[in-house]
Amino acid sequence: MSVQAQAQNTGSPPPTDQQNDAAAAQAGSPIGGDETSSIDTSPGGGEGEVVVTGSRIRRPNLESTVPIASIRSQDIYSRADPSLGETLNDLPQLRSTFSQQNPGSGIGIAGLNLLDLRGLGVQRTLVLVNGRRHVPSDIQNTAAAVDINTIPIDLLDRVDVVTGGNSAVYGSDAIAGVVNFVLKKNFDGLQLRAGASIPQFKAGGNQYVSGIAGKNFADGRGNLTLAVEYSNQERLFASSIPFLRRADGFVTNDTDGVGLTNGSDGIFDTVFARDIRSSTISRFGVI
């Protein structure tokens, strides 16, 4: 019978049963295996919340930088414009279209304030209110543009203008971009505003009066808000401005004939004249 000899330090105490169990468990684990966390299998151990704070998966086709310009209600109030369209049409992102200052021409657009991002057309600018689509107003023109006069200025919290194309998210009416009007929430109190302007030539003035009242109830779980707005823009004719009452301009003075020396007879072909009138229309009306 063969006997295996092993040298050991006789000064150390013999291993206990717990140390033997730990050594056996360590020997049974695979070499180079990944470290795993213990799992609570007791009846009282519930499932914990898993929070993903980041991902290394790149999605360049789904995520991109979108430029957003936000206008606060305080900025709109400080301008004292008679309508919201007059304020927004001064932004570089928006082309001045139909407004009180520039009514344009067409059927069914008189008195409307429409938005046109990048000059691509009012039908390609999507207007939202609190992230939802609004009812269009120019039924006989494009049947897609929204009259922003229907949105009270006092109810606005801010206006977000997204100039990046968002047709993939909102549809073909957002090719130029999106203008989102965010309204106030839980307004409690009373606010009144009024304004008027008197032009230099006593014509084309405007008046503006608005008010908003709100009240919270049911311990803040409910809110009732009422907003009223009145805006008036007087008409402005060219005859109301002294330097536009006369039709000044260039008129034909001479016509050069064929075969002249140096191609000219020395007489100005056109001259500047003041108060030009039609030769076929009587100055004082119908005779």
Whether 14 shows a pLDDT value over 60: the answer reads no
The answer to the question of residue 144 being in a domain is: yes
Q: Which residues pair with 226 in a beta bridge?
A: 213
Position 226 scores a pLDDT of 92
The answer to the question of residue 33 being in a domain is: no
CATH number for the domain spanning 109: value is 2.170.130.10
Instruction: Return the closest-CA partner of residue 97 out of 87, 85, 79.
Output: 85
The answer to the question of residue 179 being in a domain is: yes
For 191, phi and psi rounded to 5 degrees?
-140, 130
Q: What is the mean pLDDT of residues 30-58?
A: 57
Same domain for 252 and 171, yes or no, is no
CA distance 74 to 16: 78
CA distance 236 to 224: 40
Q: What is the mean pLDDT of residues 80-93?
A: 80
Same domain for 194 and 228, yes or no, is yes
When pLDDT is cut at 50, 70 and 90, the band that residue 57 belongs to is low
The answer to the question of residue 272 being in a domain is: yes
- Alpha carbon dihedral 90, 91, 96, 98, in 10-degree steps, equals -80
| Residue range of the domain that includes 211 | 189-233
The answer to the question of residue 39 being in a domain is: no
Same domain for 196 and 177, yes or no, is no
Same domain for 85 and 179, yes or no, is yes
Contact, 114 vs 143, CB < 8 A? no
Whether 15 shows a pLDDT value over 70: the answer reads no
Amino acid at 168: A
Q: What is the mean pLDDT of residues 61-78?
A: 77
Instruction: Return the closest-CA partner of residue 151 out of 106, 113, 189, 96.
Output: 113
For 52, counting Cβ atoms within 10 Å of its Cβ (0-12 exposed, 13-18 middle, 19+ buried), the class is: exposed
Q: How many domains does the chain have?
A: 3
For 232, phi and psi rounded to 5 degrees?
-135, 130
User: Which single residue is written with the structure tokens 């290394």?
Assistant: 56
Same domain for 216 and 266, yes or no, is no
Q: Which residues pair with 232 in a beta bridge?
A: 207
Same domain for 90 and 72, yes or no, is yes
Q: Which helix (H) or strand (E) holds 213?
A: strand 206-217
The answer to the question of residue 101 being in a domain is: yes
The answer to the question of residue 218 being in a domain is: yes
Q: What is the mean pLDDT of residues 193-201?
A: 83
Position 171 scores a pLDDT of 76
Same domain for 171 and 82, yes or no, is yes
**Token pair listed for 64:** 């991109």
CA distance 173 to 117: 11
Position 142 scores a pLDDT of 61
User: Which single residue is written with the structure tokens 């009422």?
Assistant: 226
Same domain for 221 and 260, yes or no, is no
Instruction: Return the closest-CA partner of residue 121 out of 172, 83, 69, 53.
Output: 172
DSSP code string of 116-159: -BTTS-GGGEEEEETTEE-----TTTTS----GGGS-GGGEEEE
User: Which single residue is written with the structure tokens 């140096």?
Assistant: 262
Strand 156-162 and strand 68-72: the pairing is antiparallel
When pLDDT is cut at 50, 70 and 90, the band that residue 225 belongs to is very high
CA 246 from chain centre, in angstroms, equals 42
Whether 82 shows a pLDDT value over 60: the answer reads yes
Picking from 89-98, 105-114, 147-156, 217-226, which range would have the lowest pLDDT averaged per residue?
105-114
Chain mean pLDDT for the chain: 73
Same domain for 141 and 78, yes or no, is yes
Contact, 118 vs 67, CB < 8 A? no
For 179, counting Cβ atoms within 10 Å of its Cβ (0-12 exposed, 13-18 middle, 19+ buried), the class is: buried
Same domain for 154 and 74, yes or no, is yes
158-192 pLDDT, tens digit each: 998 888 767 767 777 888 888 899 998 888 999 99
First to last CA, the chain: 149
